[in-house]
Amino acid sequence: MTNRRSLLGGAAIGGGVLVIGGIAAREFLGGGRSSYISSGSVNPLQIPTLYPGKVEGGVRIFDLNLQRGTSRFLKGVDTPTIGINQPYLGPTLEMYAGDTVRMNVSSELSETATVHWHGFHLPARADGGPHQPIEPGGKWSPSFEVRQRASMFWYHSHALHRSGPQVYQGLAGAIYVRDTESERLDLPNDYGIDDVPLIVQDRAFNRDGSLFYSTSMRNVMMGMTGNTMLVNGTVNPVFEARSNLLRLRLLNGSNARFYRFAFDDGRSFAQVASDGGLLEQPYRTNNVILAPGERTQIVIDLSDGSPVAFLADSIETMGMMGGGGMQNRGMMSGNDRMGDGMGDRREGRGEMMDRGMRTNGEGMMNERQRFTVLNIRPTAQRRKAITMPTRLLSLPRVDPTDAVRTRRFVLNMGMGMSMMRGGGFTINGQSMDMQRIDETVKVNTTEIWQIENASMMAHPFHIHDVQFRVLDRNGRAPGPEERGLKDTVTVAPREVVRVILRFEEYTDPDLPYMYHCHILEHEDAGMMGQFVVV
Ligand SMILES: [Cu+2]
């Protein structure tokens, strides 16, 4: 049975218990218990339109219009959203290494927005950070050369104090950068067929179908989370796979949740990329963790023809929480049974929601929750598996002695009143100030940035303009999944992460690049700093 009443059944989860920003939480619609999941009703996965722009006079030109619209995520209700050339999210921009691109961005929004090209090495004036605002009715047309290796990047709002709500409403999209080196490899490469982007975003809905977003103390501190999973804007999506090998490009486009991704039957897969490019060789694993802003690519084998569900467990990122054993990056999985098979899924979900009820208040704990990201159904006739390459490419060696200096960045969160007054979210003791340049680096030099987390919760640290390499975590070398090109790195509580990075070619003494936490509510609250390259 799917009707409005049962759809709204989840509203009882927080009913009458908590008040968020003055709005009674009974308005809070919990997707996890809704009938569109428990009834097994699924929707075809939406694949964002692949948009190669148009090439004129040797320049690849993209016309991007920021607009308001309505989307039908839930049955029977419309949701006001923001999108690029469409109601929610934007097309996948396709470009090639070496291209010169021009982005003609116009805005029909009623508030100032920006569009940041996440992961790109480009001049600061083209970066799309808070110093490149696009006013309502305004236009912004940056141009830059694509100096990336092939990977999936993304574009999203980076408006001062407004990145959280704007991305949450839909101001984001994927970018495919292609190059000859990666196109030569025998990897699944047919967009929307055996090479599929998955933009993973949790959302909360009000009873009337509108998105629930609030900047209560709890939501600023923990980041805004929801209990309905949208994948490319699809609720409970299904994908008919027409090939034996399927490449999924994952983007954690959530505001705040960290996920551990795995399959319900525990099958292994090949991880082939990190944020900014392919790994040197495929890494065989059965789970992968992504913080907000991070991307990866995996290739899975469907030759057995069995339907399989791709799952995401929300990860507990509070360091002070005990139990469960510390895994991977010093964080605990929301469900330690991941990978052992699901058993009775309904029972699993009930247990999860019970936990959600206990922890959904103004408490310190993030909800632990399991989401289905994608139901994969192999079709009867499938493209044969190709042999996966054992080597992908080579990356420059990582040598700490190349660095001319080390800079320290200490992330911290003030608690209680200091946070409410602002200024509680800091890097090196200071909150973001548009008028203050925090760091000045010399062009064509290599540095080590040592990021220390003094708070009790994990933060994904994102640095603009560069792809960096992880040197070590608390002195230990990174795992195989983190040995590639990165632009965002998780720093767990009390962890010290060292990354090595090189600042090349573009200088501007006046216009800075950003570095910040990619939990968007933390960024908006001030956990951000500015550097110039001179
Ligand atoms: Cu943070």
- CATH number where 81 lies: 2.60.40.420
Query: Which pLDDT belongs to residue 416?
Result: 59
Is residue 105 predicted with pLDDT exceeding 90? Answer: yes
Distance from residue 6's CA to the centre of ligand 1 (Å): 35
Query: Which pLDDT belongs to residue 384?
Result: 85
Query: Which pLDDT belongs to residue 331?
Result: 45
Is residue 333 predicted with pLDDT exceeding 90? Answer: no
The C-alpha atoms of residue 506 and residue 496 are separated, in whole angstroms, by 29
Which one, of 43, 11, 69, lies nearest residue 360 by Cα? 11
Shared domain for 192 and 313, answered yes or no, is yes
Shared domain for 339 and 192, answered yes or no, is yes
Distance from residue 437's CA to the centre of ligand 1 (Å): 20
Distance from residue 457's CA to the centre of ligand 1 (Å): 8
Distance from residue 221's CA to the centre of ligand 1 (Å): 8
Distance from residue 49's CA to the centre of ligand 1 (Å): 32
| pTM of full prediction above 0.95 | no
Spatial CB neighbours of 228, under 8 Å, sequence gap ≥ 6: 29, 30, 31, 32, 34, 73, 74, 202, 203, 204, 205, 235
Q: What residues are neighbours of ligand 1 (ion), with CB under 5 Å?
A: 459, 517, 519, 522
Shared domain for 371 and 236, answered yes or no, is yes
The C-alpha atoms of residue 364 and residue 278 are separated, in whole angstroms, by 37
Instruction: Establish if 84 belongs to a structural domain.
Output: yes
Query: Which pLDDT belongs to residue 327?
Result: 37
The C-alpha atoms of residue 246 and residue 241 are separated, in whole angstroms, by 7
Shared domain for 157 and 210, answered yes or no, is no
Instruction: Establish if 505 belongs to a structural domain.
Output: yes
Is residue 325 predicted with pLDDT exceeding 80? Answer: no
Is residue 343 predicted with pLDDT exceeding 70? Answer: no
Query: Which pLDDT belongs to residue 420?
Result: 57
Distance from residue 523's CA to the centre of ligand 1 (Å): 7
Q: For residues 424 and 44, which has the higher predicted lDDT (pLDDT)? A: 44
Distance from residue 365's CA to the centre of ligand 1 (Å): 15
Distance from residue 386's CA to the centre of ligand 1 (Å): 41
Q: H helices then E strands: how many in the chain?
A: 8, 38
Distance from residue 220's CA to the centre of ligand 1 (Å): 10
Q: For residues 466 and 352, which has the higher predicted lDDT (pLDDT)? A: 466
Which of 136, 154, 180 is at the close of a domain? Answer: 180
How do residues 401-430 score in pLDDT, each as one tens digit?
999 999 999 999 976 556 556 558 999 999
Shared domain for 252 and 372, answered yes or no, is yes
Instruction: Establish if 472 belongs to a structural domain.
Output: yes
CA separation (Å) from 354 to 332, 339, 350?
A: 19, 21, 6
| Lowest pLDDT segment from 13-17, 204-208, 290-294 | 13-17
Shared domain for 430 and 344, answered yes or no, is no
Distance from residue 518's CA to the centre of ligand 1 (Å): 6
Instruction: Establish if 9 belongs to a structural domain.
Output: no
Residue range 312-328: mean pLDDT, rounded? 57
Instruction: Establish if 293 belongs to a structural domain.
Output: yes
Shared domain for 167 and 241, answered yes or no, is no
Distance from residue 517's CA to the centre of ligand 1 (Å): 5
Residue range 320-332: mean pLDDT, rounded? 36
Shared domain for 311 and 376, answered yes or no, is yes
The H-or-E segment that residue 24 falls in is strand 23-24
The region that residue 357 occupies, defined by phi over 0 for left and psi between -120 and 50 for alpha, beta otherwise, is: alpha
The C-alpha atoms of residue 171 and residue 157 are separated, in whole angstroms, by 6
Shared domain for 201 and 279, answered yes or no, is yes
Query: Which pLDDT belongs to residue 385?
Result: 76
Which of 151, 180, 209 is at the close of a domain? Answer: 180
Distance from residue 204's CA to the centre of ligand 1 (Å): 20
Which of 134, 157, 180 is at the close of a domain? Answer: 180
Shared domain for 234 and 170, answered yes or no, is no
How do residues 506-533 score in pLDDT, each as one tens digit?
999 999 999 999 999 999 999 999 999 9
Instruction: Establish if 395 belongs to a structural domain.
Output: no
Distance from residue 17's CA to the centre of ligand 1 (Å): 26
Instruction: Establish if 433 belongs to a structural domain.
Output: yes
Range of the domain at 411: 400-533
Distance from residue 413's CA to the centre of ligand 1 (Å): 8
Q: Using only the alpha carbons of the chain, give its radius of gyration.
A: 22
The rounded mean pLDDT for the chain is: 85
Domain count, the chain: 3
Shared domain for 158 and 275, answered yes or no, is no
Is residue 336 predicted with pLDDT exceeding 70? Answer: no
Query: Which pLDDT belongs to residue 34?
Result: 35
How do residues 135-192 score in pLDDT, each as one tens digit?
999 999 999 999 999 999 999 999 999 999 999 999 999 999 999 999 999 999 999 9
Distance from residue 300's CA to the centre of ligand 1 (Å): 32
Shared domain for 226 and 123, answered yes or no, is no
